[in-house]
């Protein structure tokens, strides 16, 4: 048996005591840290941590009734198939659902499955017994992570909306369980924009023993021995030398992961107008190189709209929709925020996603699209979008995308022509 050192804190962050415990079996629920002396957890190495706070700042997105996620036209929804092995895994829900309760996002798993979270003071183990979770109200939201102990391997299909805007996760000094707020796989800093704070250590969990395994340390020379690569639906344990914030700007219309030389100072703003009004949209960006612009409406280039300001002298129905601008120089590119131009009093079109009742796929439903052609665009990487093909038309306002022969992740947005 290995011995692990752990610490406990009170609510104001003061260290209270240190104990040494041996590895063994997980308890069903950790009611307080005092109870740990009665158990022999296999993962007590995880307990050397204190979470002092956690917050997410997001833009867009609304939760609707019946477990359906209503997303604005410029947002995206989707599903991700994540494969989890038998034994221990650090898992994360990469998509936002209504409340992100585990009894809704994980309604059916193998009997005896355990999900372990840390709430900043206590470890709580949620177990699936008799076809239900012992703590059904436990949540698992994007940015969080939890330790999964599964008696068998399985594939989980996460369904929901994609968080956008200015996304922030607080990383406290010490240890915490975290995940990406965006359903992207890739290198932790280069792609997912995790800060390179010298002294930060990233751990995974041994699948068989449930013990922490050091994956990389951030040094002056970068991540050593190499930068961690995070999968979609995967969590990680971070041991940080100081408090810091993991922050990134993200939009579904395709922000390049390498577009670090360009900075947007002022974003365009959505407008409500009357027929015949003139309107303009502007963006202010900086770069060490010459900048170029191309405005789009509903995903289509606007001829001649190649400046930082777009002017429409007399607006009609053909000018309504979603606008954004692609900005690039000779080294990188990015997109501005997407904004909406609509007539005053009009309801914004939206797209909903829900699981198909028969388990065949996901059901996509539009609303507020009367009189306009609705086109569902699909993406597997949140950067490249194409018109969806092979979708089963259910009625005039809904389509079914079946799971067969589909990639592990698929995202959707609504374009109106």
For 196-223, the three-class secondary structure string (H helix, E strand, C coil) is CCCCCEEEEECCCCCCEEEEEEEECCEE
- Does an H or E element contain 104, and which? helix 102-105
- Tell me the C-alpha distance between 309 and 21, whole Å: 63
pLDDT at 92: 94
pLDDT at 40: 31
- Tell me the C-alpha distance between 218 and 227, whole Å: 8
DSSP-derived letter for residue 310 is E
Q: CA-CA distances (angstroms) from residue 366 to 38, 388, 400?
A: 54, 14, 12
User: For residue range 53-74, what is the model confidence (pLDDT) as tens digits?
Assistant: 222 223 333 333 233 333 333 4
The two beta strands, 279-282 and 309-312, are antiparallel
Q: Is the pLDDT of residue 76 over 50?
A: yes
Question: Cis link prior to 225 (omega < 30° from 0)?
Answer: yes
How do the domains of the chain map onto residue ranges?
A: 263-337, 350-416
Residue 295 CA, distance from chain mean position = 27
Structure token pair of residue 299: 């995903």
- Does an H or E element contain 29, and which? none
Structure token pair of residue 356: 């198909």
pLDDT at 116: 93
DSSP-derived letter for residue 105 is H
In 3D, which of 254, 51, 31, 44 has the Cα closest to residue 164? 254
Structure token pair of residue 392: 């089963």
Structure token pair of residue 233: 């639906």
What value, to the nearest 5°, has the Cα angle with vertex 153 and ends 149 and 155? Answer: 105
DSSP states along 159-174: EEE--BEEEEEEE-SE
User: For residue range 130-163, what is the model confidence (pLDDT) as tens digits?
Assistant: 999 999 988 888 889 999 999 999 999 999 888 8
SS3 of 52-75: the string is CCCCCCCECCEECHHHCEEEECCC
In 3D, which of 70, 51, 83 has the Cα closest to residue 207? 83
pLDDT at 69: 36
pLDDT at 253: 60
Residues 308/283, Cβ–Cβ less than 8 Å: yes
pLDDT at 407: 66
The two beta strands, 339-343 and 271-273, are parallel
Structure token pair of residue 111: 């009997």
Cα of first residue to Cα of last residue in the chain, in angstroms, is 65
Bridge partner list, 248: 167
Find out if CATH 2.60.40.10 is the number for domain 263-337: yes
User: For residue range 100-134, what is the model confidence (pLDDT) as tens digits?
Assistant: 889 999 999 999 999 998 765 667 899 999 999 99
Average pLDDT, the chain: 76
DSSP-derived letter for residue 400 is E
Mean pLDDT is highest, among 45-49, 79-83, 341-345, for: 79-83
Q: Which residue has the higher pLDDT, 116 or 349?
A: 116
pLDDT at 393: 87
Instruction: For residue 401, count CB atoms less than 10 angstroms from its CB and return exposed for 0-12, middle for 13-18, buried for 19 or more.
Output: buried
Structure token pair of residue 339: 């904004």
Question: What size, in residues, is the chain?
Answer: 417
Structure token pair of residue 178: 């975290």
Confidence (pTM): 0.59
Bridge partner list, 353: 69, 364
């Amino acid at each position: 048996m290995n011995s692990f050192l752990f610490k406990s804190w009170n609510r104001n962050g003061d260290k209270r005591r240190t104990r040494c415990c041996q590895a063994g079996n997980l308890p069903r629920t950790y009611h307080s840290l005092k109870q740990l002396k009665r158990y022999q957890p296999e993962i007590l190495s995880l307990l050397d941590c204190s979470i002092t706070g956690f917050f997410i700042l997001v833009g867009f997105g609304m939760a609707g009734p019946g477990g359906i996620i209503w997303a604005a036209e410029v947002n995206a929804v989707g599903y991700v198939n994540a494969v989890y092995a038998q034994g221990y895994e650090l898992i994360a829900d990469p998509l936002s659902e209504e409340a992100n309760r585990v009894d809704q996002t994980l309604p059916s798993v193998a009997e005896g499955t355990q999900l372990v979270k840390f709430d900043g003071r206590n470890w709580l183990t949620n177990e699936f017994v008799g076809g239900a979770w012992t703590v059904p109200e436990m949540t698992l939201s994007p940015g969080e992570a939890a330790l999964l102990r599964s008696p068998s391997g399985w594939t989980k299909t996460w369904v929901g909306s994609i968080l956008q805007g200015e996304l922030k996760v607080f990383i406290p000094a010490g240890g915490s369980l975290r995940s990406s707020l965006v359903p992207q796989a890739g290198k932790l800093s280069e792609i997912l924009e995790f800060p390179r704070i010298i002294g930060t250590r990233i751990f995974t969990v041994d699948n068989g023993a449930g013990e922490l395994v050091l994956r990389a340390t951030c040094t002056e020379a970068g991540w050593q021995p190499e930068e961690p690569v995070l999968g979609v639906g995967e969590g990680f344990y971070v041991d940080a030398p100081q408090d810091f914030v993991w922050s990134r700007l993200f939009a579904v219309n395709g922000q390049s992961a390498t577009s670090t030389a360009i900075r947007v100072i002022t974003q365009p703003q959505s407008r409500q107008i009357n027929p015949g009004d003139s309107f303009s949209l502007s963006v202010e960006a900086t770069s060490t190189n010459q900048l170029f612009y191309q405005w789009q409406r509903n995903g289509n280039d606007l001829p001649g709209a190649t400046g930082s300001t777009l002017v429409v002298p007399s607006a009609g129905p053909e000018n309504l929709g979603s606008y954004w601008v692609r900005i690039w120089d000779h080294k990188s590119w990015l997109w501005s925020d997407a904004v909406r131009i609509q007539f005053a009093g009009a309801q914004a079109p939206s797209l909903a996603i829900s699981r198909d009742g028969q388990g065949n796929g996901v059901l996509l439903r539009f609303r507020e699209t009367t009189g306009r052609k609705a086109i569902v665009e699909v993406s597997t990487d949140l950067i490249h979008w194409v018109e969806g093909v092979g979708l089963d038309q259910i009625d005039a306002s809904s389509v079914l995308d079946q799971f067969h022969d589909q990639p592990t992740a698929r995202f959707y947005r609504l374009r109106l022509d």
